Amino acid sequence: MTIVVLDGYALNPGDLDWAPLRALGEVAIHDRTPVDQIVARAEDAEVVLTNKCPLSAETLARLPKLKFIGVLATGFNVVDVAAARARGIPVSNVPIYGTRSVAQHVFALILAHTQRVETHAAAVRAGRWSGNADWCFWDTPLTELDGKVLGIVGHGRIGRAVADLGRAFGMNVIVHSRSAKDGVEQVGLDELFQRADVVSLHCPLTPETQGLVNAKRLALMKRDALLVNTGRGPLIVEADLAAALNAGRIGGAALDVLSSEPPPADNPLLTAKNCLITPHIAWATKAARARLLGTVVDNIRAFAAGKPRNVVN
């Protein structure tokens, strides 16, 4: 079996072992592949693995030996799945690998906003505490989460894991979802934005959810509320969020995803007030990436055995 990895660096920058994948056949691993080189690198491949390299209908038509596509992620919009299906090529993703890691990052973002640990640690390192007139100081309000309302949009695996952590902090959880579970309090979307002290987005990106967070919904939020997004960047109208932050209409935003990644330098959120942005790393703990790689290998083994799994098309 001939396997080509088009963009493996994000999954494995060197701290994981490709050996289980190499054991499956002849493997070529590329850290990154420019779009204009995809066909040249994959033209002899039976199996192509991609994370963000796009596999369009036109590209698939130029890969006659291709029999299976593995996506190194949960989202599979980089592949024209209909075109792959028409050519009899199954496409498999990795639906479960980073639930706890993403939920952990959500609370890292929340706590970064409520406690400003890095800000105060930097102040101590700069000598502020040593020269302080009192035995303590703080430069920003410090917020206790107990009793606050955590509003979760989307109640899949990650949403439920975030809810569990919220309850551990004593937060009251409300949910907006088409399929809320576990007896949680389910509310309408506008009510969630009105009531929540923290809104955390965990819904899929669909035509219905694109731009879900816009000027109208931001206007419903409490003035000290925090918006968290570890889901998909286009869930938010970024110009609207930047305007709300700069006008002080909400307390802050903490984002791990943006509409375009890497973002252009003129993205208004990069300079917006009270906006904390991390570079799409919620998924990227070593444990989560190891699970992802293991599932990809299992997907290929299942395909080779004639029983493809995690097929999305």
38-58 pLDDT, tens digit each = 999 999 999 999 999 999 999
Span 99-277: which CATH code? 3.40.50.720
Catalytic residue (choose from 155, 176, 202, 232):
232
Residue 198's H or E segment, with its range, is strand 198-201
Tell me, yes or no, if 176 is annotated catalytic.
no
pLDDT higher than threshold 80 for residue 167: yes
Domain with CATH 3.40.50.720 in the chain: 2-97+286-304, 99-277
Q: What proportion of the chain, given as a percentage, has pLDDT over 90?
A: 96
For residue 183, what pLDDT band results from cuts at 50, 70 and 90?
Answer: confident
Q: State the number of CA atoms in the 13 A half-sphere of 124 facing the CB.
A: 10
**Can you list the alpha helix ranges (DSSP code H) found in the chain?**
19-22, 38-42, 57-61, 81-86, 99-115, 117-125, 157-168, 189-195, 215-218, 238-246, 286-304
Three-class secondary structure of residue 53 per DSSP: coil
Catalytic residue (choose from 26, 58, 118, 261):
261
Alpha carbon separation from 58 to 62, 87, 223 (Å, rounded) = 7, 12, 48
Q: What is the mean pLDDT of the chain?
A: 97
Alpha carbon separation from 275 to 107, 162, 246, 256 (Å, rounded) = 15, 21, 9, 11
pLDDT higher than threshold 80 for residue 27: yes
Lowest-pLDDT choice from 41-55, 67-81, 170-184, 214-228: 170-184
pLDDT of residue 181: 67
Buried/exposed 44-58: b ≥16 CB within 10 Å, e otherwise: ebbbbbbbebebeee
Tell me yes or no: is domain 2-97+286-304 CATH 2.40.30.10: no
103-139 pLDDT, tens digit each = 999 999 999 999 999 999 999 999 999 999 999 999 9
282-293 pLDDT, tens digit each = 999 999 999 999
pLDDT of residue 182: 67
pLDDT of residue 44: 97
Tell me, yes or no, if 58 is annotated catalytic.
no
Catalytic residue (choose from 280, 289, 291, 309):
280
pLDDT of residue 178: 84
pLDDT higher than threshold 90 for residue 91: yes
Q: What proportion of the chain, given as a percentage, has pLDDT over 70?
A: 99
Strand partners, 228: 200, 254
pLDDT higher than threshold 90 for residue 168: yes
pLDDT higher than threshold 80 for residue 180: no
> How does DSSP assign 253-302, residue by residue?
EEES--SSSSPPTT-GGGG-TTEEE--S-TT--HHHHHHHHHHHHHHHHH
Single-letter code of the amino acid located at 124: V
Q: State the number of CA atoms in the 13 A half-sphere of 4 facing the CB.
A: 19
Tell me, yes or no, if 280 is annotated catalytic.
yes
